[in-house]
Amino acid sequence: MIPTLPATTPAIQRKAALTKLSRHRLLASPAGLAGTLWLAAMITASLTAPWWLPFQTEDQDFTAVLSGPTATHWLGTDELGRDILSRIFASAAETLGTSFIAVVVGVGLGTLLALAAASSQRGEGVISRVTEVMMSLPGTVIILAVIGAVGTNIPLIMAILGVLISAGIYRVMLGQAKSLQNQLYVDAAKVDGLGPLAISARHVLPGLATTIVVQSALIFAVGLLIQAGLAFIGFGPPLPQPSWGGMIQSASQHVYDAPWLMVPTGVVLALTVLSANAIGNALGKGPNDTASHLPSAAIRRKRAGQAVAAAAAAPAVGNPPAAGKLSVRGLSVGVDGGTPLVTDVSFDVEPGIVLGLVGESGCGKTMTALSLMGLLPSGVAVTGGQILWNGKNLAAATDKDMESIRGRDVALISQEPMRALDPMFTVGYQLTSAIRRLRSMGKAAASAEALSLLEKVGIVDAKRILKTYPHQISGGMAQRVAIALALSGRPRLLVADEPTTALDVTVQAEILSLLRSLVKDTGMSVVMVTHDLGVVADICDQVAVMYAGQVVENGATASILDDPRHPYTLALLAADPHANSGHDMPERLATIKGQVPQPKDWPGGCRFAARCQFAGSACLVPVPLLPTGTGVGLVRCVKADELATEGLAWVATDVPSDLSPELGVPAEVPARHRLDIIEKDMA
């Protein structure tokens, strides 16, 4: 048996989260909610049947044989005058209970076999061969043979049915269990000394919880039908004990002279089976936690309506952007329900310009980039502002409108190239299919263009790569293929979501050089999401520094890197080894105290104030994004110009009084290097 885990373990916490999510899915699905209510009512009514049934199951009323519904017999009577309502609910408890036996045995045994096989390669071979033999056996013949040997023992029959079904459950669970076994946190658990049993219980089993619940609901419905079918052919509970299958069999003999007799039991059985299936379907429609996907049609319609309303409320732009220019004005993104993730983001990207979105994790960079493509996750939507592209407001565009823009005008390069490549198809097939769809080319022309694109992104042996599958190429090669795939529609705007993060330094430099040459040759513009200020200095023409869902500084790359005006930008540069490489490297790089606040904890004033050593009373109110004193760029800080003009003298007056006002910082040191020197001296 799998040991019970303490309530404080992460596995139990994940189980609790999955239970909460499953409950939410049932409540969100009308069919699932109706099925849950029906099963709950049936179980409650069957368990309390002895206290409220109007008649005993064998009470006969010969004055009302084969009667329809009456005030005395609400659902009528059978051929012996027995009350149908009483017989249905009196037999419901045993029918439902024995069906659960098939669920417990089938799903339980199948899950345990899958866990054992996933944790041992040798065990997988043995278990798979045994389950293949089990799946080849004729289940009906085995059940009838058991009945002939031991008689009609319904609990035993359901247990045997569960054993036979467990082979199919094992095949369903095995792939998911093996995938979970390959996760990095499982390797970390092995390093910590956990054995296979503990790993399966703590790390793999919680990941199977949703599948287990769904399969249990479906197997429960199968058990009901099998049990009713056996009773229908005479292998149910012994007479005169009632059963749903036996009652349907009796009703079938009077289908012409008393057709109503078939209705009550048949409807109850059908609704119970449909309820179990509806619960399984509702639980199976939950989103996958490890992969992003497009939202449902209902969510897209809702999101489109919200975006249109937000666009109508947004202030009009005086001059529409030129062709090929991206203009974002007051963009806000939030979770359905009100929690904001991005607020009042504005920037422009001219043709041929590379804009870098910079900031720590959780600052809203990726949400901003995905909103440009209309690919926000399920439950997240644009709540305000405009995304203007070629005279269209993409924030108000429907998913159908975006189909003519994605790939053709705007394309995406993701951080993980395997998100763009399907492992089931060759690189050539995927690239050719995209070219034919986006450019309406013939097969031969598309194949030639695919070869040309691979050569354009720097792949030397392009013909061979076209014939390979994604898993057969390296990460850097896969990223080049992903870039070629993004270029297949000749987009004018490329959204790159940290395209070099997963690559080593050498390959990263090659990818950046490739992007630079593409921008130069094609004139397209790029929105680059990155944490690396070295990448910004290498490829970006403009920078938008984001913090807690806002743009705190925006301007030309050279201006921001050489003379930052916002304390957050100054702190990022002081903590970056690239920015300090031109001067004597300090013994310890500067750090930014604290962490980025969660959206629900955003303060009403400056969102960086809690981590800023220059914060004062003026930072307690909202700070707008205003032009700097030099007229170059925008900054969201009330002390930006004061910090820039008074320099270190101003900084020295803001440090604790017991420190020397003269920090010994040379006047020629650029602003981006001040924090690390000050912090070193203060330490």
Q: Number of folded domains in the chain?
A: 2
Task: Provide the pLDDT for residue 499.
Answer: 82
Average pLDDT (357-372) is: 90
CB 505 within 8 A of CB 521: no
Bridge partners for 530 per DSSP: 358
pLDDT value, residue 221: 93
Give residue for tokens 């080849």.
136
Predicted pLDDT of residue 96: 92
**Amino acid 405: pLDDT:** 87
Which of 269, 284, 299 is the last residue in one of the domains? 284
Cis peptide before 240 (omega within 30 of 0): yes
pLDDT tens digits for range 314-323: 444 445 556 6
Residue 329 lies in a domain: no
The answer to the question of residue 320 being in a domain is no
What pLDDT score was predicted for residue 652?
34
What confidence tier does 623 reach under pLDDT thresholds 50, 70, 90?
confident
What does the pLDDT look like over 648-662, one tens digit per residue? 333 333 333 333 333
Helices (H), 318-442: 365-373, 399-403, 427-439
- Domain limit, last residue, from 284, 306, 324: 284
How far is the CA of 553 from the CAs of 77, 336, 566, in angstroms? 80, 28, 7
Q: Would you say the pTM of this structure is higher than 0.85? A: no
> Per the domain annotation, does 470 fall within a domain?
no
pLDDT attached to residue 188? 64
Q: Does residue 192 sit in helix, strand or coil?
A: coil
Mean pLDDT calculated for residue range 662-680: 42
Cβ-based neighbours of 441, under 8 Å, separated by 6 or more = 435, 449
pLDDT digits (tens, 9 = 90+) for 249-271: 999 999 899 999 999 999 999 99
Structure-token pair, residue 194 = 């956990």
Is a pLDDT exceeding 60 seen at residue 6?
Answer: no
Average pLDDT over residues 13-35: 65
Contact 5, 12 (CB under 8 A): yes
Residue-level pLDDT at 310: 52
In a domain, 568, yes or no: yes
Where among 284, 299, 318 does a domain terminate? 284
Strands 493-497 and 525-530: parallel
518-529 average pLDDT score: 89
Contact between residue 410 and residue 493 where contact means Cβ atoms under 8 Å apart: yes
Answer whether residue 408 is part of any domain.
Answer: no
* Confidence check: pLDDT of 681 > 50: no
In a domain, 448, yes or no: no
- Do 193 and 202 meet the contact criterion of CB atoms below 8 Å apart? no
- Mean pLDDT value across residues 272-290: 75
CA pair distance 584, 573, nearest whole angstrom: 15
Report the pLDDT value the prediction gives residue 294, as an integer from 0 to 100: 42
| DSSP bridge partners of 71 | none
Average pLDDT of 565-569?
Answer: 87
Is the pLDDT higher at 218 or at 422? Answer: 218
The average pLDDT across 166-182 equals 90
Tens of pLDDT along 331-341?
Answer: 999 987 678 99
Q: Residue 261 CB: number of other CB atoms within 10 A?
A: 26
Cβ–Cβ < 8 Å for 547, 357: no
Show Cβ contacts of residue 381 under 8 Å, excluding neighbours closer than 6 positions. Answer: 302, 303, 306, 307, 333, 334, 336
Beta bridge partners of 436: none
Average pLDDT value over all residues in the chain: 81
Residue 153, Cβ neighbours under 10 Å: how many?
14
Beta strands at 542-547 and 354-358: parallel, antiparallel or unpaired: parallel
Output the pLDDT for position 578.
Answer: 61
The range of the structural domain enclosing residue 130 comes to: 75-284
Q: What is the CATH number of the domain that holds 92?
A: 1.10.3720.10
Higher-confidence residue: 61 or 13? 61
Does some domain include residue 406?
Answer: no
pLDDT band at 191 (very low <50, low <70, confident <90, very high): low
Judged against a pLDDT cut of 80, whether residue 329 lies above it is answered with yes
pLDDT per residue as tens digits for the range 573-592: 887 766 555 555 566 667 78
Residue 672 lies in a domain: yes
- Range among 18-22, 125-129, 433-437, 471-475 with highest mean pLDDT value: 125-129
Q: How many residues does the chain have?
A: 683
- pLDDT exceeds 80 at position 531: yes
pLDDT of residue 194: 75
Q: What is the pLDDT of residue 328?
A: 92
Question: Which of 193-207, 291-305, 457-471: highest mean pLDDT?
Answer: 457-471
Specify whether the CB–CB gap between 132 and 192 falls below 8 A: no
